[in-house]
Structure 1
Amino acid sequence: MFQTFDAPTSPDQGPPRLAALRAEIAREGLDGFLVPRADRHQGEYVAPCDERLAWLTGFTGSAGFCAALRDRAGLFVDGRYRVQVKAQVADDFTPVDWPETKLGDWLKGALPEGGRVGFDPWLHTLDEITRTEGRLQGTGIELVECDNLVDRIWTDRPPRPAAPVEKYPKELAGDGDETKRERIAAALRAAGQKAAVLTLPDSLCWLLNIRGADIPRTPVTQAFAILHDDGRMQLFSDPEKFEGLGPDPMIAQSHWDGFAGALAVLDGPVRVDKGTAPLAVTRILERAGVEVAHDDDPCILPKACKSDTEIAATRTAHLRDAAAMCEFLAWLDAEAPTGGLTEIDVVTALEGYRRATNALREISFDTICGAGPNGAIVHYRVTEETNRAVKPGELLLVDSGGQYLDGTTDITRTVAIGTPTEEQRACFTRVLKGMIAISRARWPEGRAGRDLDALARIALWRAGQDYDHSTGHGVGVYLSVHEGPQRLSRVSEVPLKPGMILSNEPGYYREGAFGIRIENLVVVQTAGTLPGADDRAMLDFETLTWVPIDRALVVPEMLDAEERAWLDAYHAEIRAKLADRLSPGARDWLERATRAI
């Protein structure tokens, strides 16, 4: 089984580790040290050897950081984790609402007389440090680059991952890696740049048409690279990871240790993404007198705009996954009302149905399965200690996905166990109205996620409700389930373009009671023309996820005619697409689950 149910951290581990870190802070003559979730690749998901934040604090969320000072330790978490963090950390750590509270502002209150706060320049970006320094101007507080102090005290730190890479088939990628390298090199030449530094693992894997296993749940390999404007590449990692690929005269492989030296002898301008590359990269280039051109990672946008081949492949993956989900939901519908299931039983069964496809490579993240009040913990991960019975009269939220060679899936369904309350149904229907609004959205080219995000929230806002996460994130194709730069978020300014895959997942969470989220994946496409419309170029979404929505939780009277029509048409298409893929029992369940509202 891919998922385990151990508790990787414990609150009681934090205080002695914080004390040891404070001893190192004092030894360095500092007043504090920053401990981010991120690794030197700035990935959301990190290898065990890079889980410094979890090791120090006990907090296992996928975003956040700790500002450890001599007399206090602020643990900065966003809205997804404000319930979770309370259960995972000791009182020595004070949760701070982030990004509402900025690090610089917090430091001004915590160090009124000024001070020196250390940070590892390999774990922070130039953008991040520049923003904080801007808020600290005139305070006497200094951010100081230094060695990583956590690494000094983490004596049993796991080794760096070194899983071998595999070639990703061209028939699924669409373009060969040579074509991709030339395409990006041409973009460098057009910009007058001699080279680009690549530090994001998914960018590198997309560019070279490779996949790896360095990060749990995410099929990437960790490496740094320098791509030159003539298509040559210098690759820095553990060379043995790449032995199975064979030699390529355009790719020179070196050990990690050679990266800094190679940077220092480059001819500029050298392209560096100040929002994703470690600050240390810019510092090395600047000290060597190499001109730096701060610009986006040149692979991010091409990777986000999937080829027709990739989209066709991911459609296949989603239909396979949808059939597994329907088998699971049919089983759940039969078993859950008896009251004999637990959250772990549900997670185990779902993974079993995905494994039965004989195509599952991995799950795309640890399944979120929250019964009753656990559903209000947005990124809840069940453990043996927290495992809760699935009880009649409660809601069950299941957010899960699979990694298949032809696609990455991510789906959330909230189901009623037994008879739901009218309040549960009303809240669910408001969330559904938001999900339908995004599904039906049509907008002019050039608009960004921030222009659509409110569509998913209006029904909730009218009831005085909301949710504290983005409406959607980008998704890769057999890559990261969370991919940039596209997002459905009030802070996203990246224009949506054809080929971008996103999640559509509004929600509502009532702490101590229940959680609701409904999630489909969608892909941006060119919209068809409408009678009487002008010639303005428009975009809309194609739905990729085909799994029924729990009709028992829908209040039909709260949906308008177009929303009801959308839901009935969606369910009818699910029947058409999946009936022949299901077992007889699941087919019978599907017929009932997709009846007209």
Structure 2
Amino acid sequence: MKTGIAERLEKLRKEMKKNGIDTCIISDRDPHMSEYPPERWKTRKWISGFSGSAGTAVITHGKAAVWSDSRYFIQAEAQLAGTEYHFFKEGLPATPDMYEWAACETEPTGTVAIDDKTISYTDGEKIKEYMATKGIKTVFGFDPFNTIWDGRPAIPDGRAYEYPLRYSGEEFARRRERLLRAAEELGADAVLLSTLDDTAWSFNIRGCDIPYNPVSVAYGYISRREDVLFIDKCKTDAALQEYLRRNGITAKPYSAIEEYLQTLPDGERVVADPDRTNHRLASILAEKGAAIFAASPATLMKSIKNDTENDGIRNAVRREGAAMSQFLCWLDENIGKTPISETSASRKLHEFRALQPLFTDESFATIAGYAEHGAIVHYSATEESDKELKPEGFLLLDSGGQYLDGTTDITRTIPLGPLTDEERRNFTAVLKGHIAVATAVFPAGTRGAQIDTLAKTALWKLGLTYMHGTGHGIGHFLNVHEGPQNIRPDFNPTPLRAGMTISNEPGVYIEGSHGIRIENMILVKKRADTVFGEFYEFETLTRCPIDTRAIEVSQLDEAEKEWLNNYHAETYTQLAPLVDEKTRLWLAERCAPV
């Protein structure tokens, strides 16, 4: 067994015994339900060694287990090997429900504990209600990590700053008014902003507390009575303090949020999103009778980009396309001649991206998976796993950038040399699904699940599929993963609306062989008014060649070939002025019609 993990489990179990706890549930979230939490709250990673962005650990005095989704099946098994952890693959028929398993492993009248600041109100109540049916008590507020985690990182203290109007396209006062009107329609007087991106968007601020995500660890509260930003003073310089003063925003310490909610005026009603507000804060509001549980109006408003934001994104993806083209030209020139590995390729791409105006950071850690590593959906190369690229097979490259005027996300699957018939067949099927989504026309009210089948039809005909989502919302100089919209088979009550930015990323993954994904960003646009109401279409935003060397052209119909040729013609037109002569010539070759 890995010694470090065994020692950590021993420490945790001592704390559990001391506090009369039989079973401990450890989530992958921070108090803001962030997908990518600061290091301080990566407690599941610390206690298990599994570093994927999604997963939950359940620990009893005799057993330990982790649940995670299909993106991390291969990674989790590798990282948990040599420990006492059992890995359960979410979504598979044989996988037990996590709460049922926890209850079965807990004695009747026993106790299950969780830190209620790292679980949503919805999930916390589900746990409590389910455990109660088994006679098991749920204890909230159990956070043993300050005791057992030597050197636990502090709350980040990065600088926050005003996000200029020339990029946001809307002043705080107008956003505030829209939020309050939405709250009043729900019968509320105020909005609690719990997630970091909702808070940043609503107050027109950005920060640097979390790698790849330009946000600050902060809460927000907006009401007719007062507007409060809960942020530690060390994050606010004179310029931000002046911005807050000018907009009538009161700054209070980050830790003051609980007391503030406990002492709200009687009768003040607050919109709190039960899926995105931690159980501790939501319970305070519920116990006061102040909570109106509903989706945060900030989340939907943020997802529908204004004209300034959309123009910024269009500019950002052009610069992104220029950087990608320079990298791909370099890769074509050097593969098989110069040693290149997965990690060195990622570093080289960063060099090209960092030269672009308004670039601040990647939007997530670049995924560069060569050959069989491409089949690991969220693969992360390490010193031990770093694979040298050869002039054969596929390199799957999923990356993105944070630019002051927009966030980008792009995946290209690159043939480095000869391909097998299976690889070509699979690449073509993925491309057909990508084109089917890109060319979709649909009525108002259409949800992502209805679009999802378009992406998979060509794969299904081959007996293939994939288990990750086809599309996720993308923030505007914010988180690369944004809701509420998505394209995936699960039911999502939020329909696709004009102004929403989303990814289009079908793929296929053959374990031990190769992975393929083709991802562009797309924008929902109004197409027409008809007697049946509004109809929408997608504008493809991303501009970067899709490598035609991997396509079985005979498997594309005329409409698909027309889309691909038009896409490449427009890509060349937009990118050629932004690149050097060598890359322009490469671009002309890669954008040639099929």
Equivalent residue of 2:57, what SS? strand
In 2: Cα distance, 1:248 partner to 1:97 partner: 51
104-113 or 434-443, which moves further after superposition?
104-113
242-251 or 187-196, which moves further after superposition?
242-251
Judging changes above 3 Å, is the alpha-carbon distance between structure 1 residues 154 and 180 closer, same or farther for their aligned structure 2 residues? Answer: same
584-593 or 98-107, which moves further after superposition?
98-107
Alignment pair present for 1:96 and 2:88 = yes
**1:258 maps to what in 2?**
256
In 2: Cα distance, 1:460 partner to 1:113 partner: 47
Give 1:235's aligned amino acid. Answer: L
Contact 1:498 1:524 in 2 (8 A): yes
**2:183 maps to what in 1?**
188
In 2: Cα distance, 1:504 partner to 1:47 partner: 28
**1:582 maps to what in 2?**
579
Contact 1:449 1:493 in 2 (8 A): no
Judging changes above 3 Å, is the alpha-carbon distance between structure 1 residues 375 and 229 closer, same or farther for their aligned structure 2 residues? Answer: same
Deviations 1:254-292 (A, max 9, x none): 1123211110122332211100001111222344x3331
Identity %: 35
Equivalent residue of 2:424, what SS? helix
Contact 2:131 2:138 in 1 (8 A): no
- The offset of 1:113, in angstroms, is 4.2
In 2: Cα distance, 1:32 partner to 1:317 partner: 48
**1:5 maps to what in 2?**
none
Deviations 1:310-336 (A, max 9, x none): 001110011011011111111111111
TM value normalised by structure 2: 0.95
Give 2:10's aligned amino acid. Answer: A
Judging changes above 3 Å, is the alpha-carbon distance between structure 1 residues 367 and 290 closer, same or farther for their aligned structure 2 residues? Answer: same
Contact 2:427 2:516 in 1 (8 A): yes
Contact 1:505 1:519 in 2 (8 A): yes
Equivalent residue of 2:133, what SS? coil
1:348-367 aligned at under 5 Å gives the runs: 348-367=347-366
**1:26 maps to what in 2?**
17
Contact 1:186 1:229 in 2 (8 A): no
Contact 2:438 2:538 in 1 (8 A): yes
Equivalent residue of 1:300, what SS? helix
- The offset of 1:249, in angstroms, is 6.2
Give 2:68's aligned amino acid. Answer: V
1:37-436 aligned at under 5 Å gives the runs: 37-89=28-80, 90-99=82-91, 101-111=96-106, 113=108, 115-136=110-131, 138-230=133-225, 232-243=226-237, 244-245=239-240, 246=242, 247-248=245-246, 250-266=248-264, 267=266, 268-287=268-287, 289-338=288-337, 340-436=339-435
Give 2:269's aligned amino acid. Answer: P
Contact 2:444 2:496 in 1 (8 A): yes
Give 2:148's aligned amino acid. Answer: I
- The offset of 1:340, in angstroms, is 2.3
In 2: Cα distance, 1:339 partner to 1:460 partner: 36
- The offset of 1:242, in angstroms, is 2.4
1:503-518 aligned at under 5 Å gives the runs: 503-518=503-518
Give 2:86's aligned amino acid. Answer: T
Contact 1:402 1:408 in 2 (8 A): yes
- The offset of 1:131, in angstroms, is 2.9
Contact 2:402 2:408 in 1 (8 A): yes
Give 2:503's aligned amino acid. Answer: S
Contact 1:41 1:200 in 2 (8 A): yes
TM value normalised by structure 1: 0.95
**1:3 maps to what in 2?**
none
553, 556, 561: which is aligned to 1:559? 556
Contact 1:472 1:487 in 2 (8 A): yes
Give 1:507's aligned amino acid. Answer: G
Equivalent residue of 2:99, what SS? helix
Contact 1:339 1:389 in 2 (8 A): no
Judging changes above 3 Å, is the alpha-carbon distance between structure 1 residues 385 and 12 closer, same or farther for their aligned structure 2 residues? Answer: farther
In 2: Cα distance, 1:213 partner to 1:110 partner: 41
Deviations 1:363-416 (A, max 9, x none): 111100011111111111112221110012221000001100001111000011
Equivalent residue of 1:293, what SS? strand
Contact 1:211 1:221 in 2 (8 A): yes
In 2: Cα distance, 1:77 partner to 1:574 partner: 38
Contact 2:320 2:408 in 1 (8 A): yes
Deviations 1:433-469 (A, max 9, x none): 1111110111110111111111111111111111111
Contact 2:117 2:141 in 1 (8 A): no
Judging changes above 3 Å, is the alpha-carbon distance between structure 1 residues 275 and 595 closer, same or farther for their aligned structure 2 residues? Answer: same
Give 1:91's aligned amino acid. Answer: T
Judging changes above 3 Å, is the alpha-carbon distance between structure 1 residues 350 and 259 closer, same or farther for their aligned structure 2 residues? Answer: same
- In structure 2, the gaps of 5 or more residues are none
**2:484 maps to what in 1?**
485
Alignment pair present for 1:524 and 2:524 = yes
Equivalent residue of 1:527, what SS? strand
